[in-house]
Amino acid sequence: MKALFFSFVLLAQFALSQFGYQTNQLPLDTLASISTQVITAKDFLERFELMPWPQKDVKSRIEYTKLEFLYSLVAEKLMAMEASAQQIGFDSATQSMQYNLERLFVRDEFYKREVLPKIEISNAEIQKGLSRYAYEIEVEILGVLSKAEGDLFFKKYKQAKNKRTILKLFYDSLYIPVDTVQLSFGSADLALEEAAFTIDKDSLSKPVESSIYGTVMLRLLKKYTNPEYAKFNRQDQAHKVRNIIKGRKEDSLATKAFVSVTASQRAEAKPDLFFMLADTIHALMSLDSNAYRTKNVYMLSGGLLDDIQKRLVAYLQNEFVTFASGAPMTFGEVLLGLSNNYVVFPNLQKEYVQWVLNNNMKTVIQNELLTREGLRKNLQQSENVRHDLSTWMDNRRSALLLRKVIDTVKVSETEIEEEYQKDPAFFGATMLVRLREILVDSISLAKGLKEKLKRGEDFATLARKYSKRKEWTKDGGESVLTDIKNLGELGMFAATAKIGEVEGPWKIKEGLTIFTVLERKVIDDSLRMNFAETKRTIEQKLLGVKRQKTLDQYIGTLAKKYGVTLNEANLRKTSTSTSSMFTWRHIGFGGRIVAVPQVLRQTEWVYEWLRRENLNQ
CA 394 to CA 396: how far, in whole Å?
5
The pairing of beta strand 592-594 with beta strand 584-586: antiparallel
554-567 pLDDT, tens digit each: 999 999 999 999 99
Q: Is 553 helix (H, G, I), strand (E, B) or coil?
A: helix
Higher pLDDT among residues 616 and 193, named by residue: 193
Higher pLDDT among residues 211 and 403, named by residue: 403
Is 70 exceeded by the pLDDT of residue 269? yes
Is 80 exceeded by the pLDDT of residue 15? no
pTM for this one? 0.80
299-345 pLDDT, tens digit each: 999 999 999 999 999 999 999 999 998 999 999 999 999 999 999 99
pLDDT exceeding 70 applies to what percent of the chain? Answer: 95
Is 90 exceeded by the pLDDT of residue 5? no
Predicted confidence at residue 4, as pLDDT, reads 59
Is 50 exceeded by the pLDDT of residue 485? yes
CA distances from 182 to 143, 189, 245, 497, 524 (A): 17, 12, 19, 72, 71
Predicted confidence at residue 12, as pLDDT, reads 34
140-162 pLDDT, tens digit each: 999 999 999 999 999 999 999 99
Q: What phi and psi, each to the nearest 5 degrees, are found at residue 499? A: -65, 130
CA distances from 412 to 311, 407, 417, 544 (A): 38, 14, 9, 14
* Burial class of residue 547 (count of CB atoms within 10 Å of its CB; 0-12, 13-18, 19+): middle
Q: What is the DSSP letter of 327?
A: P
Is 80 exceeded by the pLDDT of residue 103? yes
Q: How confident is the model at residue 528 (pLDDT cuts 50, 70, 90)?
A: confident
Is 80 exceeded by the pLDDT of residue 31? yes
Q: What phi and psi, each to the nearest 5 degrees, are found at residue 545? A: -65, -45
Predicted confidence at residue 263, as pLDDT, reads 87
Predicted confidence at residue 550, as pLDDT, reads 97
Strand order in the sheet with 502-508: 482-483, 430-440, 511-523, 502-508
Predicted confidence at residue 611, as pLDDT, reads 87
Predicted confidence at residue 20, as pLDDT, reads 36
Q: How confident is the model at residue 526 (pLDDT cuts 50, 70, 90)?
A: confident
Expressed in angstroms, the distance from the first to the final Cα of the chain is 78
Handedness of CA 298, 302, 306, 312 (dihedral sign): positive
Predicted confidence at residue 18, as pLDDT, reads 36
Higher pLDDT among residues 518 and 16, named by residue: 518
* Burial class of residue 516 (count of CB atoms within 10 Å of its CB; 0-12, 13-18, 19+): buried
Taking residues 242-257, report their average pLDDT.
Answer: 95
pLDDT exceeding 90 applies to what percent of the chain? Answer: 86
One-letter amino acid of 537 = T
Predicted confidence at residue 615, as pLDDT, reads 61
Pair 537, 429: CB distance under 8 Å: no
Taking residues 188-206, report their average pLDDT.
Answer: 92
Is 80 exceeded by the pLDDT of residue 17? no
CA 517 to CA 478: how far, in whole Å?
10
Predicted confidence at residue 22, as pLDDT, reads 37
On average, the pLDDT of the chain sits at 92
Is 50 exceeded by the pLDDT of residue 27? no
Q: What is the DSSP letter of 174?
A: T
547-593 pLDDT, tens digit each: 999 999 999 999 999 999 999 999 999 999 999 998 999 999 998 99
Taking residues 13-32, report their average pLDDT.
Answer: 50
Nearest Cα neighbor of 344 from 312, 307, 304, 287 is: 304
Is 50 exceeded by the pLDDT of residue 10? no
